Chain A
Amino acid sequence: QKEVEQNSGPLSVPEGAIASLNCTYSDRGSQSFFWYRQYSGKSPELIMFIYSNGDKEDGRFTAQLNKASQYVSLLIRDSQPSDSATYLCAAHTGGFKTIFGAGTRLFVKA
């Protein structure tokens, strides 16, 4: 069964620190990977996606992909209390089917 695994957390970091969120996936055929942020009671919001090995930066966010290790990560620099949310990692398999991880809860302490 195709799976995406995440540490459920909570991950607690002080304001201004770097938050590192990690994810592994089981299906080597997965083509692209997505990070979503979900605030309590809200729907998931796309932060960024990555499909090539290496790093991809967008503002304070950096996604990292290592296909050999089947590993995806999201770094949040200069973490803010407003970044406190659940972060969902997702992998696209064939036919636009997306497999979601269970999410990691992040708390940024002011």
Chain B
Amino acid sequence: SAVISQKPSRDICQRGTSLTIQCQVDSQVTMMFWYRQQPGQSLTLIATANQGSEATYESGFVIDKFPISRPNLTFSTLTVSNMSPEDSSIYLCSAVSGYEQYFGPGTRLTVT
């Protein structure tokens, strides 16, 4: 299994600013992902964080808005740039270990 931690756990940010979320896994993993979950909704995949190369973004998500880094096999960051109230959501880091996918505790972001 994999234990995933995220920082910060929550934040309230002003419109137009940026927030970087950190994700740390307790073991080396092959795949890391970033998801967004609106209240009462399911998970939406933002991107796959690729180690040593640019992330792979899903339709509707772009690098300028959600830059992602993954410098090694255990760590990744997601930045939410130029935030607007529509970016208010829970952002979840996820990792695949073996055959199973695990999730971090999430970062609850509120943009005012």
Contact = CB atoms under 8 A, between A and B. Distances in A.
From A42, A96, A103, name the one whose CB has the most chain B CB atoms within 10 angstroms. Answer: A96
B100 A43 contact: no
Contacts of A96: 30-31, 96, 101
A49 B100 contact: yes
Given A43-B92, A43-B105, A88 B99 contact: no
A43 B106 contact: yes
A97 interface: yes
Contacts of A43: 92, 103-106
A90 B94 CA distance: 14
Q: How large is the interface on B (under 10, 10 to 19, 20 to 34, 35 or more residues)?
A: 10 to 19
Interface of A: 32, 34, 42-46, 49, 88, 90, 96-98, 100-103
From A32, A90, A97, name the one whose CB has the most chain B CB atoms within 10 angstroms. Answer: A97
Interface of B is mostly: strand
Contacts of A34: 100-101
A89 B65 CA distance: 29
A32 B45 contact: no
A102 B101 contact: no
A101 B42 contact: yes
A58 B101 CA distance: 18
Contact of A44 (B30, B41, B103): B103
B99 A32 contact: yes
Interface in B83-112: 92, 96, 99-106
B106 A102 contact: no
B33 to A, nearest CB: 8
A42 B30 CA distance: 24
Given A88-B42, A88-B43, A46 B101 contact: yes
19 contacts: A34-B100, A34-B101, A42-B105, A42-B106, A44-B43, A46-B102, A49-B99, A49-B100, A88-B42, A88-B43, A90-B101, A96-B96, A96-B101, A97-B48, A98-B33, A98-B45, A98-B101, A101-B42, A103-B42
